[in-house]
Amino acid sequence: MGVKADRQAEEFTAFVRATGAQLHHAALLLTGDHHLAEDLAQATYAKVFVRWRQVQAAQSPVAYARTILLNTFLSHRRLRRNGERPSDLTDTDVGPPEAGPDPALKVDLLVALTGLAPLDRAVVVLRYWEDRSVADTAAELGISESAVRTRARRALQRLRPLIDPISERTHP
């Protein structure tokens, strides 16, 4: 690699070091699996590297990278479940719950997330992990604000059995 390429590689590596944990965590919430999260994060950063100049010039490079992460996840999942469209909001796109209501089962929150439709997981990540507003989340995912609220509400209902015990520990 030349001097310019070396500098670019160094800048990119520093960017991954600075943002990798955040994106890897988001990938883990989306995929629910360490291997898949690693693959998703790597695929995301590879695309980031290809568009490195645009990423650097972006107002928020990490937000740019996160958008690539979400698009990569959703486009891949859409191929697998090509019936789902962002505007469709039916009960059928949320499968049967994998997490039982009994906290004694100690079902992992990540496992519970994998029981949600991919777009619902993306809503959870943006709304609750990234603390984005409903409007921001809707804009990011290309769905309506009411769709964000509906998906978030359904997701919370599914996660409630796991969150209640945590809230009792953290807010006794």
**Residue 2: CB partners within 8 Å, gap ≥ 6?**
none
The verdict on 104 binding other proteins (CB under 8 A) reads: no
The verdict on 135 binding other proteins (CB under 8 A) reads: no
The verdict on 42 binding other proteins (CB under 8 A) reads: yes
Select from 138, 112, 144 the least CA-distant residue to 126.
138
**Part of the chain binding other proteins (CB under 8 A), chosen from 32-40, 56-64, 85-93, 140-148:** 32-40
Alpha helices by DSSP H, the chain: 3-31, 34-50, 52-57, 61-80, 109-114, 118-124, 134-141, 145-170
Per the CB < 8 A criterion, the answer to whether 148 and 123 are in contact is yes
The verdict on 129 binding other proteins (CB under 8 A) reads: yes
The verdict on 46 binding other proteins (CB under 8 A) reads: yes
* Binding-residue total with other proteins (CB under 8 A): 55
Residue written as token pair 């604000």: 145
The verdict on 162 binding other proteins (CB under 8 A) reads: yes
**Part of the chain binding other proteins (CB under 8 A), chosen from 56-64, 86-94, 136-144, 155-163:** 155-163
Report residue 86 CA to chain centroid gap: 15
Q: How many Cβ atoms are within 10 Å of 34's Cβ, its own excluded?
A: 12
Contact residues for other proteins, defined by CB under 8 A: 9, 12-13, 16-17, 20-21, 24-25, 28-29, 31-33, 35-36, 38-39, 41-50, 52, 75-77, 79-80, 108-110, 114, 124, 127-129, 131, 152-153, 156, 159-160, 162-164, 166-167, 170-171
